[in-house]
Amino acid sequence: MGLQEIDAKMLSKMFLAGAKNLENKKEWINELNVFPVPDGDTGTNMTMTIMSAAREVSSLGEGASMESICKAISSGSLRGARGNSGVILSQLFRGFTKRIQEESDITVGVMAEAYEKAVETAYKAVMKPKEGTILTVARGVSDKAKELVEDGCDDLEVFFEKVIAHGNYVLSQTPEMLPVLKQAGVVDSGGQGLMEVLQGAYDAYLGKEIDYSISEPASAGGPAVNKSSMEVQAEAEIKFGYCTEFIILLNKTFHLKMEMDFKAYLESIGDSIVCVADDDVVKVHVHTNDPGLAIQRALKYGALSNMKIDNMRLEHQEKLFKMSEKSGVPVSVDQVKPRQEPEKAAEPPKDFGFIAVSVGEGVNEIFKSLGVDYIIEGGQTMNPSTADILNAVDQVNAKTVFVLPNNKNIILAANQAAELTTEKDLLVIPTKTIPQGITAVINFVPEMSADENEATMIQEIANVKTGQVTYAVRDTVIDDKEIKKGDYMGIGDDGILSVGSDINAVARETIQEMVDDDSVLISIYYGSDVSEEDAEAFRAEIEKSYSACDIELQYGGQPIYYYVMSVE
């Protein structure tokens, strides 16, 4: 018989183990994507979501209270949530921790109630819950937990074993609930991810040997190049010059939304942020060019103590001079002079601003030319997190900010950001594709109110049909179409429109499936793997076939998708 109660220390271990197990299985989960496209990202999104929370839990160290661990799990996952699966996972954690945060120890009964609260919270976050998904698996786990409690089970080991077995059974049944899963021969990838988290947590409960260390996210760029320490220091670029640390002695309840708003503000003025709330204090660390801004905002929550501000640029200069003296290598003036960040005069906020999620040099330029204030790099290959969207909102000096997710897998994260934004009005226009985003911003009228513009844009994007041409990464059958690895696929708003071995033939058939008697405009955005010459030749083909329509060809520069096409 195992432990009959879970304390804060064990909860921390179980959560970190669940996160690590999911991380280890992420590529396999990515491959469960129904569509055999090269950007299957459920495993990646769920992993980045839970690892955001795991880093916050890990930073608390041993001795952390149940409440502080729960706050770290909830806050970290909410801010790190990416994609629909990541947002749903974060909502499951949010509901789960809400139930247990006041407990000193978790029993079978409390665990069952926490599962129930998790499912309730996650279902509320999704406007149209679909069965056969992670939600179904989570509900199956919760239902089994409730049944075990009603049957008098009070042994946590027995409880976990039976709950996980039932969750895996429900997962195995997801293809019977969603025909598209059955046809593709896979179970729901989000549900699989959830079960990996639960299995990892159970392994920790059983005392299995697990590496609980949580690494920092990998930095962008290629492989490291061997350099001397002198060269590394000389090339270092310090973007934010002051290392600022302090503790807030709270004079009010520092609830989750307040904590997230404060973190979002810190991210808008700096980086290297640590913000850990525990009972009556908040530990803060930030690199910024204006420590006074961080201090001023912190004073809203209470008195400050243990304040420490270091000028990292001066420290950098001193290190360079010392290395120069030792090595005999002279240091240039450019290496030691402080970087002077230009001071911008505070401007009054404008009425409206725009944020667009986009990828591809050409597409980015199109959005900028249409007046979009901030581009979040991402989309099919990398879904931005809730924190990414909150950070973008802070960069736009406007009273009302419209967000164009331009991907159905980013809309939930954008909606979550809207719920967490307090100082501005954040309106999410539910654009599912790049062409819908372009149409939305084109139909914006500055003289109209925010509500009028929102209604108009939503109405106009409904008239946009989108098709995207990419390649298959595995053999499968979808929508009764047999797909072989390496085939080209034309994917429409509601499924596969065309499959074949000739890219232009697939693109033509995709357009043919979208055009009807009311169509007047066909827009074609060619990707980074298509030459201008080939794109022009394709455009000429389409002009011959659809002489009644205007044909627009533009360089998109998007990866993975050879053509993104829209019909209006």
Radius of gyration, alpha carbons of the chain: 26
Percentage of residues in the chain with pLDDT exceeding 70? 87
> In sequence order, which residues have a C-beta less than 8 Å from that of residue 347 and are 6 or more positions away?
397
Maximum CA extent, the chain? 78
pLDDT greater at residue 418 or residue 36: 418
Mean pLDDT of 191-219: 84
Q: Which of 248-252, 414-418, 426-430 has the highest mean pLDDT?
A: 426-430
Cβ pair 491, 37 in contact under 8 A = yes
Phi, psi of 419, rounded to the nearest 5 degrees: -70, -25
Q: What is the pLDDT of residue 232?
A: 35
Averaged confidence pLDDT in the chain: 85
d(CA 235, CA 302): 40
Task: Output the DSSP codes for 133-152.
Answer: SHHHHHHHHHHHHHHHHHTT
Q: What is the pLDDT of residue 287?
A: 85
pLDDT digits (tens, 9 = 90+) for 294-348: 898 888 888 887 788 888 766 555 555 555 554 554 544 444 444 444 444 568 8
d(CA 117, CA 91): 10
Percentage of residues in the chain with pLDDT exceeding 90? 56
Predicted model pTM: 0.71
Q: What is the pLDDT of residue 322?
A: 53
Give the pLDDT band of residue 216 (cuts 50, 70, 90): low
Mean pLDDT of 366-382: 86
d(CA 11, CA 519): 57
Q: Is the pLDDT of residue 159 over 80?
A: yes
pLDDT digits (tens, 9 = 90+) for 272-296: 776 766 667 787 878 888 888 889 8
Q: What is the pLDDT of residue 2?
A: 57
Question: What does the block give as tokens for 199?
Answer: 């299995």
Q: What is the pLDDT of residue 415?
A: 93
Give the pLDDT band of residue 129 (cuts 50, 70, 90): confident
Mean pLDDT of 515-520: 93
> In sequence order, which residues have a C-beta less than 8 Å from that of residue 503 and are 6 or more positions away?
469, 488, 562
Mean pLDDT of 404-408: 94
What is residue 126's DSSP assignment? -
> In sequence order, which residues have a C-beta less than 8 Å from that of residue 447 and are 6 or more positions away?
none
Give the pLDDT band of residue 480 (cuts 50, 70, 90): confident
User: Whose structure tokens read 């669940």?
Assistant: 18
Q: Is 485 exposed, middle or buried (0-12, 13-18, 19+ CB in 10 A)?
A: exposed
Q: Going by DSSP bridges, is the β-strand pair 374-377/350-358 parallel, antiparallel, or unpaired?
A: parallel
Residue 452: CB atoms within 10 A of its CB come to 11
Position 442, amino acid: I
Mean pLDDT of 485-492: 92
Give the pLDDT band of residue 217 (cuts 50, 70, 90): low
pLDDT digits (tens, 9 = 90+) for 225-236: 333 333 333 334
The candidate with the shortest Cα–Cα distance to 355, out of 292, 315, 304, 410, is: 410
